[in-house]
Amino acid sequence: MPAVATSTPDPIPHAVSKHAVLKDIFGYHRFRPGQEEIIDALLNGVSVLAVMPTGAGKSLCFQVPALTMDGLTIVVSPLVALMQDQVAALRLAGVAADAINSTQDRDANVAAWHRVTAGETRILYMAPERLMSERMLAALTRLPVCLIAIDEAHCMSQWGPAFRPEYAELGELSRRFPDIPIAAMTATADEATRIDIERNLFAGRFQTFVSGFDRPNITLNVSPKASWKQQMLDFVGARPGQSGIVYCLSRKKTEECAEALRANGINATAYHAGLDRQERQARQNRFVTEEDLVVAATIAFGMGIDKSDVRFVFHTDLPGSVEAYYQEIGRAGRDGEPADAMMVFGPGDIRLRRQFIEQEDTDDDHRRREVSRLNSLVTYAEAQGCRRQTLLAYFGDPTEPCGNCDNCLNPVELVDGRDDAELVFGVIFETGQRFGQAHIVDVLRGAETEKVIKMRHDQLEVHGSGARHSKVEWQAIIRQMIAAGFLEVDIAGYSSLLITQQGNALSRGQGEFRYRADTLQPLKRRGSKQAGKSAFGTSQPAQPAVDLSSRDLDLLAELKKKRLSLARERGVPAYVIFPDKTLADMAHKRPSNLEEFAEVKGVGKSKLQQFGETFINVMRLAP
């Protein structure tokens, strides 16, 4: 249920019916759950913060009102490449859309602005830096602006995981345009982020809509990192013929991943910002068109790409936050069919992420928030119970155990860790709570490193008290103590381990600490409950959401080939012509004339005229 911040005024008449826009422009007969309430609020002049999962149709929530109202809609978008693709998609749908950004030459931007001032453009995409210049704001106040939409709105919150200073200036919009509704859209915003956006962005009436965060068709898996490359090859190799994304922290690693996959007979490519735009688009087109392509990519890949049949996401490195992780795994299984998410992580990932935080040019408050955010992700990774419960609890969306994560499918063995915790507390206390995990483990193990000897910690009674565990085992135990709240990392104190109040209570015999006994075991072969006997057993390529016969699947392949050739002619990504769901519906219905073609999901009037006969001819020639 949406949290209503203000009362809703009486409806006002609009130039075009929202249902007519939905059918005639976008080719759909009905709205998805949650969309219509948001659209109605905007049409009634009420600003909206909408938090919706990836793939839930956020763009339609502001595009339909934009085309229902009279006037100009401004859309703020953080990624220029995504902005260009969205403009291309709208134009193909018959919408007068434009973009003004730094990648276009001056003549192109001037021409776009002339169309805006002439009243020809209905939707204008801009980056926040361009929009928030004094000159642009002054010019826009003289135009009939009817709606402002902010995509990836979490970027404007100081509490968000991807805060961008230029986004923070967007709070000025409600003062510059006091009577214009603002639509703030995001897939990832916890309660603190939502409150911050509401306070800074909205000056008048607004409503907040939070859709459920759960994606129950995605099986959640986490495993300790042993040999990440072999773990990746085992995981992907068990899914022959499936399309997936392997997320990596660096450009170099994406190339290394893709090369390893190809060497093992898997159709794979790399995607990162180091490629020129033409090459990135070519690889993006391959991803949309080739059903078995695996893309090793940095985090930007996947945003805005309408590919519904991604069957898995594999993280070779720990993401920066729960929000980033949630957004990235959300690119799998958008068709509602079973999909898998696997992440491998180890102490090196945590250490690297903490280094990134320490090196940020920001204030201590921001660093503490980032550390807290990282700790929340580590808590998820170290979860002893249902992972989905842990993940959704972060977003304030409680749920019962899911039965579709590794911990639910294969419950972990828990060991009483109170004695081990006491040893850790003893070393931390005796060394003055001034040292990080590596040194604490050395003292526990009885190591005689240069640092241990220099600090005379080899003379302490606790030196060697934990010799029964290996170094790797102690690292895992300490991580789980941090995740359980008994220890914390002092980011301002050179990552020193500190005993928390909860830890002090445990040392006095209050409470208990149990840790995973399987933390260091090799990667288990497990995955989608629905996928068959196991994710590492025989795995068949998932079928589209509609029930397609083998004959239909052959036709679908031909339709994708035609889509790709049309996309190349126009210089746009393949999914901009038609998304996969539309082609699947086309292959299933096999329309033989334009009237029947118009009933295919996702076919509006403009695309009917441009592409109807072309795709009908493909179907006529199909066996």
Type of residue at 11? P
Asked whether residue 442 falls in the same domain as residue 317, the answer is no
Q: What value does the mean pLDDT take over residues 100-104?
A: 84
Asked whether residue 225 falls in the same domain as residue 182, the answer is no
pLDDT at position 166 over 70: yes
Asked whether residue 273 falls in the same domain as residue 379, the answer is yes
If pLDDT is split at 50, 70 and 90, which confidence band does 532 have? very low
CATH of the domain at 336: 3.40.50.300
If pLDDT is split at 50, 70 and 90, which confidence band does 539 have? very low
CATH of the domain at 486: 1.10.10.10
Helices and strands: H and E segment counts in the chain: 28, 18
Specify the pLDDT at position 519: 56
Q: Give the separation between CA 579 and CA 550, rounded to whole angstroms.
A: 20
* Closest alpha carbon to 184 in 196, 176, 192, 175: 196
Residue 545, domain member (yes or no): no
Specify the pLDDT at position 280: 83
Domain boundary among 499, 515, 531: 515
- Burial of residue 154 (number of CB atoms within 10 Å: 0-12, 13-18, 19+): buried
Q: Give the separation between CA 53 and CA 323, rounded to whole angstroms.
A: 11
What is the three-class DSSP state of 597? helix
If pLDDT is split at 50, 70 and 90, which confidence band does 440 have? very high
Asked whether residue 378 falls in the same domain as residue 290, the answer is yes
If pLDDT is split at 50, 70 and 90, which confidence band does 588 have? very high
Asked whether residue 436 falls in the same domain as residue 390, the answer is no
* Cβ pair 583, 346 in contact under 8 A: no
pLDDT at position 266 over 90: yes
pLDDT at position 187 over 70: yes
Per the model's pLDDT, the better-predicted residue between 244 and 495 turns out to be 244
Residue 361, domain member (yes or no): yes
Residue 388, domain member (yes or no): yes
Specify the pLDDT at position 304: 58
**Most confident residue range from 37-41, 155-159, 470-474:** 37-41
Percent residues over pLDDT 70 in the chain = 90
Q: Give the separation between CA 485 and CA 620, rounded to whole angstroms.
A: 64
CATH of the domain at 585: 1.10.150.80
Q: Give the separation between CA 95 and CA 118, rounded to whole angstroms.
A: 16
Asked whether residue 177 falls in the same domain as residue 225, the answer is no
Q: What value does the mean pLDDT take over residues 527-546?
A: 38
For the chain, the average pLDDT equals 85
Q: What is the pTM of this model?
A: 0.74
Q: What value does the mean pLDDT take over residues 445-449?
A: 94
Percent residues over pLDDT 90 in the chain = 52
Q: What value does the mean pLDDT take over residues 516-535?
A: 44
How many domains does one find in the chain? 4
Q: Give the separation between CA 594 and CA 539, rounded to whole angstroms.
A: 38
Strand partners, 294: 244, 268
Asked whether residue 202 falls in the same domain as residue 235, the answer is no
DSSP structural state of residue 199: H
Structural domain for 205, as ranges: 3-210
What is the three-class DSSP state of 312? strand
Specify the pLDDT at position 528: 40
Residue 528, domain member (yes or no): no
> pLDDT for 195-231, tens place per residue?
889 998 998 889 999 987 888 999 999 998 888 999 9
Domain boundary among 210, 237, 272: 210
* Cβ pair 288, 271 in contact under 8 A: no
Residue 345, domain member (yes or no): yes
* Cβ pair 282, 270 in contact under 8 A: no
Domain boundary among 383, 409, 435: 409
Q: Give the separation between CA 268 and CA 293, rounded to whole angstroms.
A: 5
Specify the pLDDT at position 548: 82
Q: What value does the mean pLDDT take over residues 62-82?
A: 90
Residue 531, domain member (yes or no): no
Residue 530, domain member (yes or no): no
Per the model's pLDDT, the better-predicted residue between 455 and 574 turns out to be 455
Asked whether residue 229 falls in the same domain as residue 350, the answer is yes
Residue 94, domain member (yes or no): yes
Asked whether residue 338 falls in the same domain as residue 360, the answer is yes
DSSP structural state of residue 57: -
> pLDDT for 350-369, tens place per residue?
888 888 888 877 777 777 77
* Cβ pair 577, 567 in contact under 8 A: yes
> pLDDT for 316-355, tens place per residue?
999 988 888 998 998 898 888 899 999 998 878 888 888 8
If pLDDT is split at 50, 70 and 90, which confidence band does 2 have? very low
Tracing tokens 């155990």 back to the chain, one arrives at 401
DSSP H or E stretch at residue 271: strand 268-271
Asked whether residue 369 falls in the same domain as residue 438, the answer is no
Which of 48-62, 399-413, 536-550 has the weakest average pLDDT?
A: 536-550
Asked whether residue 443 falls in the same domain as residue 464, the answer is yes
DSSP H or E stretch at residue 4: strand 3-4
Asked whether residue 391 falls in the same domain as residue 437, the answer is no
Specify the pLDDT at position 441: 95
Q: What value does the mean pLDDT take over residues 27-43?
A: 93
* Residues 6 or more apart in contact with residue 487 via CB below 8 angstroms: 424, 428, 478, 481, 497, 498, 499, 500, 503
